[in-house]
Structure 1
Amino acid sequence: MEFGVQAIFGPSDPILGAHIQSICEALDVPHLEARIDFEPISKELSINLHPSQEHMNKAFKDLMAFLNWTKVAIIYEEDYGK
């Protein structure tokens, strides 16, 4: 921290993210992430910029209603970001 680190951004990997978040809390350095977090626990020095799953679900529902869709398929990859 002697070089003036102001914040840490990332990573996208959830396991590494938890480790980085722990280090940032120990050193009082803000931690910003932009990844899906299925365990949204309030963290003192971490901010996740990715919308919560609840907000994503509402957005999909609103889009379907707006476009008058009756069916939709969502395709995803389990190893996202690897």
Structure 2
Amino acid sequence: MDLHPSRAEIRERVTARLPTPEEAEILRISPNLAVLAITRVAVDGTGRVVEAALLVFPGHRADAYFITRPMTVEKRREG
């Protein structure tokens, strides 16, 4: 069950990159160790952003697992 029925689309971008100096300090990792950065934006049917997040994890201690269940047009009309 979707707890946020106003979400029409969720956009996620996953990037492997070197950390910023602040990220390296907060995560207590070497600035030469890659991080996994996930940017997530959820928008409603009008295109309005209803959720936004930036998550940064040490690359050597992170796994990413995604499940996407697109909503059909019929289900949107029922809601």
TM bin, normalised by shorter chain, reads under 0.3
TM-score of the aligned structures, taking structure 1 as reference length: 0.23
Q: Which has the higher helix share?
A: 1
